[in-house]
Amino acid sequence: ALQTLSEHHRTTFQHVATLTSDMLRVCSQSRSPALGDLLSSRTKGHEVANGHAQSTSLPSLPSEARPAPEPEKASPCAGSNEEEVGDLPWFQAMKANLEEFGDVEVFLDQQPQECMSCCQPIEAAYRARPRKCNHVFHVECLLHCWSEGVCPVCGVSFAPEATPAKAPRGAWT
């Protein structure tokens, strides 16, 4: 049972790491470079491997090499309308995956709030919180403790609950 749980845990972490990597790649290639910059700046210097954040030295582009944000939509996350972000495919995919692989809620909120992990303001419209404790985090900050499956503030588990298999139709109950 412990080996199965460990394997499930490893698989879940790989899914989350792949999702994060894909999100960062897509966001950095999007028409709105400010989103990619926002995500990259939060994860710059940290690479998650085997559940532990490891410091890395990532080169950054000089400011003149970065494309300028489009004037009408500088950043779809910082200061934009929640409906716009909530309808974006990358947000829907991120929300669905994180909520499937952990007992967390990914939600939109424009109210100023501080991340309980890094103590920095959450400028993006999207945030994450374990359902059992409601501490609010940058999605990227919560991903750093995903392999442990516990809130970094209070230690409550946000590991997904095992759902009992449904009995086939006509089975005795």
pLDDT, one tens digit per residue, over 66-87 is 344 433 333 444 445 666 777 8
Domain boundaries, the chain: 2-56+74-144
pLDDT of 65 above 50: no
**CA distances from residue 67 to 34, 56, 124 in whole angstroms, order as listed:** 9, 24, 20
For helices 2-29 and 33-43, the axis angle rounded to 10 degrees is 140
pLDDT, one tens digit per residue, over 112-170 is 999 999 999 999 999 999 999 989 999 999 998 888 899 999 999 998 876 655 555 55
The secondary structure element, H or E, covering residue 144 is: helix 139-144
CB distance 103 to 131 below 8 Å: yes
CB distance 49 to 135 below 8 Å: no
106 φ/ψ angles, rounded to the nearest 5 degrees: -105, 125
Quick one: pLDDT band at residue 5, thresholds 50, 70, 90?
Answer: confident
pTM above 0.75, yes or no: no
